[in-house]
Structure 1
């Protein structure tokens, strides 16, 4: 029998989606499953985006330009400038989700066996993207004790080798909800300039910041133009995960020329989704104000309820809509599967994402889970109630 590739063997399972079969079994038993495992917002997609697709008068569904609609990139540039980001149309290539933008960024800047340093825990698919690109992830560990703040720059410096090509961050962070300060961004800018590296920032949660904290984009740092590569997406901003539209952004012409070759190789981003995404830029500020208020309330309730459970440790997120919770257990993978396969509280259970999959260091995060607070407040309260009782039952086994 022919053998599959080494890449295929090394490709990691998604900690977010790998337990789906068990959730399906739980539902077939008649159990209600609260999905805390995936960042799928329940916020309504802006009507202006949905109407744009419904009203599109298209007789032939053609390819678009490989860089995406010219009109969309122009409008996106205006959006960024309104956010005080100096981004022009030529700095943008539209991609099929932020995922493709990350693949373009890795493919345009790294060769096989090159290295990218990433503070962990990090978005689990960074591991998958690295494997697909033949790139080695070099982790620098941040801890729940510091709220997952940026590790000391000295820790980064120790890891830089001749193979190091970039530092990759997610800001605000998935899965931690950590928001990098201006000082932390400037520290990263200084080190990438010193060692002539790229700084890739996944900024898809830019709008989701709380408690008066502001987002600090790498695109605003003077002197970083040739180093900065920004990844963005409409998925979370407009609650349009299924649109699969994102973009790669950089002032570095060589990077964008290389990225365009990858864009041409996949032909073009999807037409209807671009129509929706372009229209979504007309969404009024009131939409975001309401969404931010709702998520902050959800965060506050979730963190307050988690802190009531003996033995649970959780850092308060400053952005995005995730948190990492450290549980009084040894194996979160086993616990998460047991929740779906065996446990229910009055016919209900929860689905969480084991956090070990958000690390590349072995045997780290084994007692942690990621929780997405994308459910309504009453559902979050009920979910934590189930978690509390489940921990008691599980630790008696």
Structure 2
């Protein structure tokens, strides 16, 4: 029979979604599942976004411009200005989620065999994007004992080779919740400029920053216009994961012109979703204040409950809504599947994301899981108790 491509064979399964068949079977068996595996908030989407679609009188659902509608990009530029990021509408290319923005960007700035340095653990799909484009990921390894702090700049510099083209960070981080300081961002910028690299920041969790900390964007840097590229999305900010609208923002005109060619090849981002996303920009600050307070409460509850389990180690996130948890087990893939297939308390079990898929270094993260605290406090407490009781029974 015909064979599939080498890239197809190398494309990794999603550590977040690969357990779905086992979860579906558990549900068919009558079990209730607490989903801690995926960053799908239970927070309601702003009504203004949903109403914009309901009230729209469009008669022909036509293509938008390949770079996104001008009215949406104009409002996006105004949104960024409120966050001390000064860009023009023409500095923005609207994409089908942040995922498409990263795929377009990897293809635009790197050739097969080129390298991107990423602090590890990182969002699992970065590996998929690099595989799809033939780019090699070079990890800068972070440690749970340091709360996944950014490795030293000296560590980053040692990883740079003639093949290195870019440095990619997620700020705040998925899966760790780590928040990069202004000083760290400036150190990375100086390194990127010294070695003539691109500095890419995935900032989709910008609004979700806790404990009085503030978010510092790479587009707030001075004299870095040719080097900095921001990736963004409405998915988490407005609890609009299904809209699939993101964007790429840069003042580097050559990068934007190249990305636009890929955008033209896929014609346009989704029209109705752009209408909803444009309306969502009118969401009042009170919405975010309430959401942040809720996530802080959930984070504190989750960490407190996890710390009651013997042998468990947990990072302390400063942003986003994830944390990495180290369990007294050898293989979190097996444990996560076992939870769905063989364990429940009164018909309830938990779905978690094995953390090995968030590492590119073989052997790392095998005893860790990522937990998304996107459920209410009562559900989080029940879910952690299930994990606690499961660990008493589970055998590697």
Q: If the TM-score is normalised by the length of the shorter chain, which range does it land in?
A: over 0.9
Q: CA deviation at 1:202?
A: 0.2
Partner of 1:164: 164
Q: What are the residue-to-residue correspondences of 1:237-316 with 2, within 5 Å?
A: 237-316=237-316
Superposition pairs of residues 68-87 of structure 1, within 5 angstroms: 68-87=68-87
What are the equivalent positions in structure 2 for 1:39-188 lying under 5 Å apart? Answer: 39-188=39-188
Aligned partners of 1:172, 1:264: CA distance in 2, in Å?
A: 30
CA distance in 2, matches of 1:23, 1:175: 21
Structure 1 vs Structure 2 CA RMSD? 0.7
Equivalent residue number for residue 359 of structure 1? 359
Q: CA deviation at 1:122?
A: 0.2
- C-alpha deviation, 1:315, in angstroms: 1.1
| Partner deviation per Cα, 1:317-375 (whole Å, 9 max, x = no partner) | 00000000000000001000000011111111100000000000001000000000000
C-alpha separation between the residues in 2 aligned to 1:165 and 1:181?
23
Residue 155 of structure 1, CA deviation: 1.2
Q: Please identify runs of 4+ aligned residues in structure 1 that moved more than 2 A.
A: none
1:197 paired with 2:197, answer yes
* CA-to-aligned-CA distance 1:127-179 (integer Å, 9 cap, x gap): 00000111011111000011111011111111111110000000000000000
Q: What CA distance in whole angstroms lies between the structure 2 residues aligned with 1:357 and 1:305?
A: 25
Structure 1 residue 223, shift from structure 2 partner? 1.3
Once the two structures are TM-superposed, the CA of residue 114 in structure 1 deviates from its matched residue by 0.6
Q: Which residue of 2 aligns with 1:348?
A: 348
Q: Offset at 1:11?
A: 0.2
Distance across 1 between alignment mates of 2:60 and 2:346: 52
Unaligned stretches of 5+ residues in structure 1:
none
- The Cα of 1:56 is off from its aligned counterpart by 0.8
Q: What secondary structure is seen at the aligned counterpart in 1 of 2:8?
A: helix
Question: After superposition, where does 1:328-339 map in structure 2 within 5 Å?
Answer: 328-339=328-339
Distance 2:386 2:353 in 1: 15
Q: Report deviation, 1:107.
A: 1.1
Aligned-partner SS, 1:232: strand
Does the residue aligned with 1:206 lie in a helix, a strand or coil? Answer: coil
Where structure 2 has 5 or more consecutive residues not aligned to the other structure, the ranges are none
Q: Distance in 2 between matches of 1:346 and 1:87?
A: 54
Tell me the alpha carbon deviations over residues 250-300 of structure 1, each in whole angstroms, 9 at most, x when there is no partner.
010110010110110110000000000000001111111100000000000
2:23: which partner in 1?
23
TM-score (normalised: structure 2): 0.99
> Deviation digits for residues 47-106 of structure 1, max 9, x if unmatched?
000000011111111110001010000000000001111121111000000000111111
Cα distance in 2 for residues equivalent to 1:98 and 1:354:
22
Distance 1:177 1:392 in 2: 28
For 2:325, what is the secondary structure of its paired residue?
Answer: strand
Equivalent residue pairs, number:
396
Q: Work out the CA distance in 2 between the residues paired with 1:126 and 1:345.
A: 35
CA distance in 2, matches of 1:349, 1:89: 47
